[in-house]
């Protein structure tokens, strides 16, 4: 009877001490949080706050059992429950720490980067559960040597079986962190072009100009050339214009000036140069280079449209003819 009274006293004392310890620690952390501008103390408060009264109750009960004489089987059961419970709270606390670190790293980053960090955090939590599970089994008396070896061989088999999926997964991380493009960018990938709609773990989805959705694996995107037109600030345009060989020299000399005047009068366009480039098979070829100072494709087409109409009008006014492929056949009479 004396043994049970002593055990009860140990239980009550341990429960009160543990509960007071939690309150003192939490109170101290909360006061510290009020005096600092960091969020680290908030993370610690969250970790300690996970320790609920049932855990203290069992910990106090576990302390009291050492006063009693228990059978080996019962002692093993009590020890096993404690190991599992402590492991659970360790996992929950470390997961809170992972969430805190991921939140700091993501910071004010865009949604794409935050998604990538969340994926990394999820992988970290999965690895944590695996490690803690192995530790718990080891403490429960399970020989994990064969299990670890099996997991190693099984992991290799799974890695080979899901090689393509894993490549897409790591390619997804590369896209998220390196940012060759983000959601909303207009890109050209091989023969496909369109607006990036979503970047997933395995695939990226692009809305084509015709309306259909193009699904491309992330692995393919990181191993091929991608043209990102969202990064475009201005467009350089080189145009070849052919005029007929019978155009007078006086008018040929004035064609570069005509082109410059037309370009200078169009909004968002900047003249660079215009020259008689070469003598073609059926035309005198002028090369004009100008810039459209906009990343908007519609504005580029509008400016190009206005230039073409203006050039045709000036050539008609000056009596200059555009060249087109022609042949002159001379027939010699015998």
> From its phi and psi, is residue 296 left (phi > 0), alpha (psi between -120 and 50) or beta?
beta
Is residue 329 classed as helix, strand or coil in its secondary structure? coil
Distance CA 26, CA 36 (A): 15
Q: What is the pLDDT of residue 41?
A: 59
* CA-to-CA dists, residue 298 to 236, 241, 268, 292, angstroms: 15, 23, 12, 11
Q: What is the pLDDT of residue 334?
A: 66
| DSSP string across 61-76 | HHHHHTTS---HHHHH
**Residue 256 · residue 286 · CB < 8 Å:** yes
Q: What is the pLDDT of residue 215?
A: 87
Distance CA 117, CA 102 (A): 6
∠ at Cα 8 (4, 9), nearest 5°?
Answer: 120
- Between helix 40-49 and helix 2-35 the angle, nearest 10°, is 160
Q: What is the pLDDT of residue 160?
A: 53
What is the residue extent of each domain of the chain? Answer: 2-160, 173-231, 235-318
Distance CA 276, CA 116 (A): 53
Is residue 115 classed as helix, strand or coil in its secondary structure? helix
| DSSP string across 232-264 | -S-EEEEEEEEE-TTS-HHHHHHHHHHHHHHHH
**Residue 177 · residue 117 · CB < 8 Å:** no
DSSP for residue 294: -
Q: Which CATH number fits domain 173-231: 1.10.287.3240, 2.40.50.140, 3.40.190.10, 2.30.30.60?
A: 2.30.30.60
Distance CA 82, CA 106 (A): 36
| Residue 24: closest CA among 61, 51, 63, 59 | 51
Q: What is the CA radius of gyration of the chain?
A: 37
DSSP for residue 320: P
Q: What is the dihedral of CA 250, 251, 257, 260, to 10 degrees?
A: -170
Q: What is the pLDDT of residue 281?
A: 83
CATH architecture assignment, domain 235-318: 2-Layer Sandwich (3.30)
* CA-to-CA dists, residue 281 to 242, 278, 312, angstroms: 10, 10, 22
Q: Could you report the average pLDDT of every consecutive run of 10 residues in the chain (334 residues)?
A: 66 69 67 64 63 64 64 68 74 77 67 67 78 73 63 55 62 75 83 84 83 84 80 83 92 93 91 92 91 83 92 93 78 74
- Between helix 163-178 and helix 111-139 the angle, nearest 10°, is 130
Q: What is the pLDDT of residue 258?
A: 94
């Amino acid at each position: 009877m004396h043994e049970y009274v002593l055990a009860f006293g140990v239980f009550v004392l341990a429960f009160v001490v543990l509960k007071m310890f939690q309150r003192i620690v939490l109170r101290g952390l909360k006061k510290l949080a009020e005096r600092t501008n960091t969020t680290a103390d908030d993370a610690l408060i969250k970790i300690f706050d996970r320790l609920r009264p049932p855990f203290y109750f069992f910990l106090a009960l576990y302390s009291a059992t050492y006063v009693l004489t228990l059978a080996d089987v019962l002692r093993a059961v009590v020890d096993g429950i404690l190991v599992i419970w402590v492991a659970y709270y360790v996992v929950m606390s470390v997961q809170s720490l992972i969430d805190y670190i991921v939140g700091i790293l993501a910071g004010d980053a865009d949604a794409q980067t935050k998604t990538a960090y969340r994926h990394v955090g999820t992988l970290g939590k999965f690895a944590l559960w695996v490690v803690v599970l192995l530790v718990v089994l080891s403490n429960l008396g399970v020989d994990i040597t064969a299990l670890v070896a099996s997991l190693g061989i099984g992991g290799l088999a799974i890695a080979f079986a899901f090689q393509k999926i894993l490549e897409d997964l790591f390619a997804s991380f590369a896209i998220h962190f390196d940012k060759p493009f983000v959601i909303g960018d207009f890109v050209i990938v091989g023969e496909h072009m369109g607006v990036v709609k979503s970047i997933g773990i395995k695939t990226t989805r692009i809305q084509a100009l015709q309306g259909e959705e193009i699904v491309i694996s992330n692995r393919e995107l990181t191993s091929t050339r991608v043209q990102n037109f969202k990064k475009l600030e201005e467009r350089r345009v080189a145009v070849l214009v052919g005029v007929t060989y019978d155009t007078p020299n006086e008018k040929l000399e004035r064609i570069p000036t005509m082109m410059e005047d037309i370009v200078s009068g169009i909004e968002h366009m900047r003249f660079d140069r215009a020259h008689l480039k070469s003598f073609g098979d059926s035309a005198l070829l002028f090369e004009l280079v100008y810039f459209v100072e906009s990343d908007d494709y519609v504005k580029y087409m509008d400016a190009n449209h206005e230039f073409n109409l203006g050039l045709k009008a000036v050539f008609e006014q000056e009596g200059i003819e555009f060249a087109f492929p022609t042949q002159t056949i001379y027939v010699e009479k015998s």
